[in-house]
Structure formats: structure tokens, C-alpha cells
Amino acid sequence: MIMAVALLLIVLGSVLFHVFNPWWTTPLASNWQPMDDTLTITLVITGIFFVVINLFVAYMLVRFRHREGHRAAHEPENRKLERWLIGGTTVGIMALLAPGLVVYANYVREPRDALVLEVLGQQWQWRFRFPGPDGKLGATDARFVSATNPFGIDPGDPAGQDDLLIPGDEVHLPLGKPVLVLMRSNDVLHDFFVPPFRARMNMVPGQVSRFWFTSTVAGRYEALCAQLCGVGHPNMRGYVVVEDPASYQAWYAALPSFAKSQAKAPEAPAAPGGPAGGGARVEQGRALADAKGCVACHTVDGSPRVGPTWKGLHGKTETMADGSTALVDEAYLRSFIRDPQARHVKGFPPVMPKIEMTDEELAALVAYIQSLGSPPAQAAAEQKAAR
């Protein structure tokens, strides 16, 4: 009897929870309304099934509960009933599957006039590339990957020279234009997921995977990684800005090409820190931090990610994993970057890679980190508050 009441309460509670809970899909911002529709169809059919079966069981628990002197009926099988049930279930399953496959057929069929966007995943940040005026993405290979060529674009491929590289973790897209997203990874599996677009796919090193969508609502959407990619997995965030074509064109026009970024690279060490070079050197350090991927793990806004934030780092006292403490000064920063595995900061995973850089570059990077420093007490308080 209590079990029957429990089942009734579960059915009632589940239905009420479904109606009144505040969590459902994020507002749709792409053409994939049909995905939401198949979700609704599935929910209705399975929901009815769930309610009916549970109520039926609850009824039987009361109706056929044990009573003294009463015996169960003898009914080993009922062919007719069984055939009806199999038939009805098959029809129900087909009603679920058919619309799902139709939607999927559209998902697989890519529009021909789509804007091509490449998304590159790497631990733990996103990078974006457009094919540029020739409409072709340059060939890539892992062996070309370096701090100055994070995409691994083949420098000898003419198709790659005009590719447009997007600095930072935010890409803009024109409203209402179909976008074909081509996805690569330099290291491990990732998954480029923007919940309001619904469409998504894993990125797999060694191959290009793809999906397409058309944006329908302007806005700035969060992109996140939905395939476990190591300790920094939750920090892999990016943004997709959907805007009117005019604003998009203005943004697009300012993007640097691959050829330009390569031309600029050799200049970098050529800016030695003269007496007036302080500001330039910090600026060079900022650019290096982006190019070498430091910003994937270290923020400059005070929030810790995979590694400590650089805001207020210089001048602070860090506790090491072995319990010792160390003052973060120029010598500390230099030695830590040169040999990140020599010691580990408490509370952070020991995963910092050794990144090759010249003395000039190291000096610039350290200068940049120093420029973000703040008085020790304040830094410590901020770090604590952020955690």
C-alpha cells in the first residue's frame, strides 16, 4: 500500500517538477528548431508511457495485494495480447525514430553557400581561423605548430597565406548566414559546444570534423568544451558574437592574415629593451603570452584557472606543494618559466610545460607579469577571495 502511494507521489511529483522547475533548454539561437521539436515529441511520448505504466503498477499493488486465502490467477501467456503490445510498441518507436532521422539528414547535408569557420581546440583554449579571400584554408600539420604558428599552418602552402587568424577567444559571425564549422585539435579530444546553437561535434587530433548551423538571434554566446580534455577542461571558454552583417564586416576587415602574422614574428626579438623600452617590452610580453598560449591557463583578471592568475602575482608569497614558501620576484619567475617542473605551487596541478624561448622573450614575458603585480597583502586577499 505504501509502495502504491510512493509510486503515485513519484508520478505526481515528477510531472509537477517538470511543469514548475526553472531549468529547460537555453533559448534557441540557431536554425535547429527541429532538434527542439524532436526533443518535445520524445518527451511527450515517453512521458505518457512513464505515467501510464507507473499508475497501472500502483493500481495493481492495491487491487492484487495479498489477502488471506486468495490465490493468484494462472495465466502463463496470452499470445494475442503479446502481439498487440509488440505491434503498438513498434509503431511508437517508429514515431520517435522517423522525425529524428529526418532532422539528422538535414544535419548531415551541409549548405553549399556556408561561411567557413575553423575552430581549433588545444589545451585549454579555442582558436579561430577564416579561409580569407581565396576561400581555402591552408594545409596544416602538427609538426608546424610553434609559439608563433599555433595553428600549425604549412608556411609553404599558398592557400594558407591569406588565412585570417582571430586573436583571442572571441569570434564574430554574421546574423542569418549559414556557417560550416570545421574543427581540428592539436592535442587531445575537445568538443565545441554553444548550448543555444544545439549543433556541435567533437574535435579529434589528426582529422577534421564538421557541423553547420545558421544563427537566428544576435547576441554574445558562451562556447565551452564538452569532451573531457584534462584538468583545465572547465576553463576552456570562448565566445561567439552574432551580429548584423555591417558590424561583422567591420570586425572582419581588421583581422590579420597568416602571412602578416609570420612577417611580424621575426621582428619580436628585434625590440630589445633600451632605456625607453619598458612599455614596449611589456607590450611584447603581452603578445608573447598570447602567442605561446600562456593565457590558456593564466588569467590577468584575478581569477585562477589551471595556473595562478598573473594579477598581483609579482610580489606575492606563494606556498609550494611541499609546504615551503617563496617570494615571487623576477628571479622566481625566470627560474619557474625556465624549469616549470622543478617545484610546484600548492593547489595547482603540476602540468606547466617547458616552453622554449629566447632570453629576450623571457625578459619581456617577466616584465609583463611584473607589470601586473600589486602590493602583496592586496594580492593575497584577492587570490583568497577568488578561490
Partner 1 sequence: MNSSSPTGQAMSHADDAGHPAPQSFLTRYVWSQDHKVIAVQYACTAIAVGVVGVVLSNLMRLQLGFPGQFDFINAERYYQFVTMHGMIMVIYLLTALFLGGFGNYLIPLMVGARDMVFPYLNMLSFWVYLLSVVVLMASFFVPGGPTGAGWTLYPPQSILPGTPGHAGGIVLMLVSLLIFIVATTMGGLNYVTTVLQARCEGMTLLRMPLTVWGIFVATILALLGFPALFVSGVMLLLDRTLGTSFFMPALVSMGQVTGYKGGSPLLFQHLFWFFGHPEVYIVALPAFGIVSDLISVHARKCIFGYRMMVWAIVAIGALSVVVWAHHMFVSGMNPYFGFFFATTTLIIAVPTAIKVYNWILTLWRGDIHLTVPMLFALAFLCTFLIGGLTGLFLGNVSVDIPLSGTYFVVAHFHMVMGVAPLLVVFGGIYHWFPKVTGRMLDDRLGRLHFWITFLGTYAVFFPMHYLGVLGMPRRYYNFDGYKFIPPSAFSLNEVITVIAMIIALAQLLFIVNLAWSAWRGRPADANPWRAASLEWQTPTTPPGYGNWGPRLPVVYRWAYAYGEPGAAEDFIAQNAPPQAGAGEPEPEGQSEVRGAPA
Residues 197-226 that bind partner 1 (CB under 8 A): 198-207, 209, 222, 224-226
Gap between the Cα atoms of 156 and 126, Å rounded: 24
Q: Shortest gap between Cβ of 152 and partner 1 (angstroms)?
A: 8
Query: Do residues 162 and 257 touch, judged by C-beta distance below 8 A?
Result: yes
- Say which residues have a Cβ less than 8 Å from residue 313's Cβ, sequence separation at least 6: 328, 369, 372, 373, 379
Region from 85-93, 159-167, 260-268, 277-285 binding partner 1, contact rule CB under 8 A: 85-93
Interface characters, 181-200, with partner 1 (x: CB under 8 A): --x-xxxxx-x-x-xx-xxx
Contact call for residue 122 and partner 1 (CB under 8 A)? yes
- Using CB under 8 A, which residues numbered 141 to 180 contact partner 1? 141-143, 145, 147, 152
Contact call for residue 85 and partner 1 (CB under 8 A)? yes
DSSP string, 135-174: T-PPPB-GGG-BTTBTT-B-TT-HHHHTPEEEPSSEEEEE
Region from 135-143, 157-165, 254-262, 275-283 binding partner 1, contact rule CB under 8 A: 135-143
The residue from 8, 54, 148, 302 that contacts partner 1 (CB under 8 A) is 54
The residue from 44, 56, 278, 330 that contacts partner 1 (CB under 8 A) is 56
Gap between the Cα atoms of 208 and 222, Å rounded: 22
- Using CB under 8 A, which residues numbered 268 to 287 contact partner 1? none
Region from 62-70, 264-272, 277-285, 323-331 binding partner 1, contact rule CB under 8 A: 62-70
Bridge partners for 239 per DSSP: 170, 222
Region from 72-80, 164-172, 174-182, 307-315 binding partner 1, contact rule CB under 8 A: 72-80
CA 221 to chain centroid, in Å, comes to: 11
Gap between the Cα atoms of 208 and 121, Å rounded: 11
Contact call for residue 323 and partner 1 (CB under 8 A)? no
- Say which residues have a Cβ less than 8 Å from residue 98's Cβ, sequence separation at least 6: none
Cα-flanking dihedrals φ and ψ of residue 93, to 5°? -65, -40
Gap between the Cα atoms of 191 and 223, Å rounded: 10
Q: Which grid cell is 218?
A: 544576435
Q: Shortest gap between Cβ of 385 and partner 1 (angstroms)?
A: 11
Region from 100-108, 163-171, 173-181, 260-268 binding partner 1, contact rule CB under 8 A: 100-108
Interface characters, 340-369, with partner 1 (x: CB under 8 A): -------xxx-xxxxx--------------
